[in-house]
Amino acid sequence: MNNHHTKNGITGGIFLVGIGTLMFTNWWWPGIMLVIGLAVSAGLILRGKYLPALITLTFFAAIPLLVTADIPWGVFVPFILIAMGASLTSKSFGKQPNVDRQPKE
C-alpha cells in the first residue's frame, strides 16, 4: 500500500466527515475552521510532524473558542493593542545602538 496515498486519504476523509457534520449541524462558521485544523493536523501527525500538528490544531481550534466566547471585544481588544504597543516601544528603547562611539581611523 502506498503510504503517501494513505496519509492524503486520512486528511481528505476527515475533511469530508467534517464537512458532512457541518452540513448536518449547520454550524458553518466557525466550524469550518475546526474541520480544517483537524484534517491538516491529522495529516501532519501521520507524517511524524507532531509539533506543527499541535500548533496547527491549537490555532484552528482557538478561533471557534474565541468566536463563541462571550468576550467584550470592545474593551478587550484595545487593552491588547495598548499592551502590544507599550511592549514594542519599551523594547525599542532598550536596543538603541551606542551613538557616542566613533569608528577608529
Written in H, E and C, the secondary structure of the chain is CCHHHHHHHHHHHHHHHHHHHHHHHCCHHHHHHHHHHHHHHHHHHHCCCHHHHHHHHHHHHHHHHHHHCCCCHHHHHHHHHHHHHHHHHHHHHHCCCCCCCCCCC
* Domain range list for the chain: 3-93
> What pLDDT is attached to residue 97?
59
> What pLDDT is attached to residue 19?
96
Angle in degrees, 0-180, between the axes of helices 28-46 and 50-68, rounded to the nearest 10: 170
Q: What is the mean pLDDT of each run of 10 residues along the chain (105 residues)?
A: 66 94 93 94 93 93 86 83 88 66 61
> What pLDDT is attached to residue 57?
93
